[in-house]
A and B are shown apart, each in its own frame.
Chain A
Amino acid sequence: MDALATNLVTVVEGIAFGLLLFTLAVGLSLVFGMMDVLNLAHGTLYLVGAYAAYALSDGSWWGLALAVVVGTVAGAAGGGLLAGMTLPLSRRGHLDQALLTLGVAFIAAELFFEAFGHEVVPTAPPEALRGSVELFGRQYPVYRLVFIAVAAVLALAVYLVFERSTLGALVRATVADREMVHAMGVDTRKVLFGVFAVGAALAAIGGTLGAPLLAPGPGIDERVLVLSLVVVVIGGLGSVRGALLGGLLIGQVQTLGVSLLPDLAPFLLFGAMLVVLAIKPAGLVPAGGRR
């Protein structure tokens, strides 16, 4: 019973982490699905939001709100900038675009560490959420539960917009067949810019809210990037449902899996990817149409 309770708490932890991964991975997945642009600066966008949280949140609600606003705007601007930089290269092949974003990631990360120091900086949640509650007989931080709720709402909103709205239909159509959408008179570049900016903003929000879970610092951008990539590969490129499923799965692998099999911890991520891709080579939920 005791072990069960511990594991249940870990499962909750995994859900929090998985939802964080979803907010990070969905933008990456959609941009890739639409234009085959692999944004290797995606982890840097997380840093944008997380450092905004570190710099601006002073423990009050206003600080958090300010951090969310600043992080979101900065993230969206970063996404727009990346889209503007990669778009002229679209005739040149996808490797060049990926390399460009990689270069931007290196430069931006170095500037961040110059400004905020070369250490991981722990970021505290707002004071009102610093306590802990009893969960399955364990003390559990309130902030993570609130985070789960907020991230779930966020995920639901993204899902509804993407799957149920006209705008979402346009995005899905662009993922499935860009030329056809373009031929029907839609400026697909605007769609791309929009998706790039929204995806980047989501990653930055993930950073702002997720900073108390995964604090910003050197190496964190890479970690976020790799986790998002694994989520995207597992979930299926260009699919929101896939990103959600993949995020929740990797969230569990990274928490429950690691606590059950600590010796194999470094290899679980690869193992999960191997198993999923062996069964479903195109990911759990392949995007419809082109592939």
Chain B
Amino acid sequence: MSPDPDLRRALRFGLRPGRWTVLAWAAVAVVLAAAPFLLNNYQISTLSRMLVFGLLAISATLLTGVTGLPTLGQAAYFGVGAYTAAIVARDVTAIGPVQVLLAAVAAAVVALFTGTLATRARGVPFLMITLAIGEIAHSAATSWSSITRGSDGLSGIPRVVPLPGMSELRLDGLVYYYVLVMAALAYLLVRALVRSPYGLVLRGVRDNEARLRAIGYPTGRYVLAGFTVAGGLAGAAGALLVSVQRFVSPGDVGFSVAAVALLAAIIGGVGSLPGAMAGAALVVLVRDYIGTDLGGRGPLLVGAMFVAVVYLMPQGLAGLGHQLRRWFSWRRRSTPPPAGAPSSAEPETTPDDPQPSVGSDRSAT
């Protein structure tokens, strides 16, 4: 009964991935595995950061794209995870997965607490509240110096040990492999979640929450759970960041980090996980690589990307191929849309049309 093209695609791919999809993934895997042999140290650590920001972008996509709640607060949970991991690494254990797990749990707890407020809102008010949460986290990182050491940040973090019994990773290339494996695991977990019945409910919240509620889904609880999971994922990404740069400062919790995560999620396209990863890679590349070449004008470029994406690429990377294909099939043979899809136009997946109000209980339409 659902005319959602995303959903149809997801179901099809879930059952039987297309040949091109498999080939594309294989190519990506080969490139990622070969990267340390081809790149210099700076490039490798940039690549590691791309993976970290990719996970952060996925956590933003989980809210922005899948659930339809645009967020500017993921840097807060990223920061909770990063600081937790840094403290665990410094005082408890250098074993990476333990750090990631504890960081994810800490971030999820904070997300659960703050989410009770944020998830009362939908649409742009949600964006406002998450932005405020992110900024409060930033000021906490700056001023709560007994734990975070203020703007000096936490340094002196030992090198990461991937598994008990192994030695610490001294080479940037090995750290990259560790981050790659952890990121791949997290990616698969999130993918399974998005394709589960629970993920379908989150998509339902995005498309028509009132109807879901009418059927009897307690959507508020589902959204809060999604918010918590996204927070935990951002926390895991924060832990990986600590393994890469062995340093955390309030700059890693800042507004620009949250903005980059949202930008990457938007570039990636609505609810697309590979798109979010690619978007993050693009943003980090532009900001850290081209921006550095231009004399540290990263923020300027990030701003220009925002403007460009809004005007030129409203569907994001993932939507680009989709859109082109539709245009082509449209021009070749102007067949009527298939039965069951009432409108050929992509449903505007902006979340805030039906229920714009904070905590509204009446159903739309």
**Which A positions have Cβ atoms within 8 angstroms of B?**
32, 36, 38, 40, 89, 92-96, 98-100, 102-111, 222-223, 225-226, 229-230, 232-233, 237, 265-267, 269-270, 273-274, 277-278, 281-283, 291
Given the interface contacts A36-B352, A100-B310, does A107 sit within 8 Å of B300 by beta carbon?
yes
The answer to whether A38 and B124 touch across the interface, beta carbons within 8 angstroms, is: yes
In the complex, what residues of B have CB within 8 A of residue A94's CB? 123-124, 350, 352
Known contacts being A95-B350, A96-B314, A110-B297, is A273 close to B132, with CB within 8 Å?
yes
Contact at A99–B310, with CB atoms within 8 Å?
Answer: yes
**Whose C-beta in chain A lies nearest to the C-beta of B297?**
A110
Who on chain A is nearest to B250 by CB?
A: A219
Q: Give the nearest-CB partner of A105 in chain B.
A: B303
For the complex of A and B, the 3 pairs showing the least CB-CB separation, nearest first, are A103-B306, A106-B303, A93-B350
Across the interface, do A93 and B255 meet the contact criterion of CB distance under 8 Å? no
Quick check: is B279 within 8 A (CB to CB) of the other chain? no
Closest A residue to B357 by CB, please name it.
A291
Kindly specify which of B89-97, B139-147, B318-326 makes contact with the partner chain: B139-147
Q: Give which listed residue, B70, B131, B136, contacts A267 with CB less than 8 A.
A: B136
Closest to B303 in A: A106
Decide yes or no: A229 and B136 within 8 Å by CB, A96-B310, A102-B306 being known contacts: no
The residue on A at minimum CB distance from B311 is: A100
CA distance A154 to B89 in the complex (A): 53
With A96-B350, A291-B357 known as contacts, the answer to whether A270 contacts B133 (CB < 8 A) is yes
State in angstroms the CA–CA spacing of A72 and B131 once bound together: 27
Complex-state Cα separation, A283 to B135, whole angstroms: 20
CB of B266 closer than 8 Å to a CB of A: yes
Give the CA-CA distance A284 to B136 in the complex, in Å: 21
Give Cα A187–Cα B281 distance, bound, in whole angstroms.
44
Let me know if A99 and B133 touch, CB within 8 A: no
Q: Are B139 and A229 in contact, with the CB atoms below 8 A?
A: no
* A38 proximity list for chain B (CB < 8 A): 124, 127-128
Q: Does B359 contact A (CB under 8 A)?
A: yes
Alpha-carbon gap, A233 to B129, bound state (A)? 8
B45 close to A (CB within 8 Å): no
Bound: A270/B303 CA distance, A? 27
State whether B131 touches A226 (Cβ < 8 A): yes
Are A281 and B359 in touch, CB under 8 angstroms? Answer: yes
Q: Which residues of A contact B263 (CB under 8 A)?
A: 99
Contact of B299 among A106, A226, A269 (CB under 8 A): A106
Q: How far is the CA of A105 from the CA of B144 in the complex (A)?
A: 28
Interface contact A104-B136, CB-CB below 8 Å: no
Chain B hits for A267, CB < 8 A: 136, 140
Q: Would you call A222 and B304 a contact (CB within 8 A)? A: no
Q: Among residues 103 to 158 in chain B, which have CB atoms less than 8 Å away from a CB atom of chain A? A: 114, 117, 120, 123-125, 127-129, 131-133, 135-136, 139-140, 142-144
Knowing A229-B132, A270-B132, the reply to whether A103 touches B307 (Cβ < 8 A) is yes
Query: A89's closest neighbor in chain B, by CB?
Result: B310
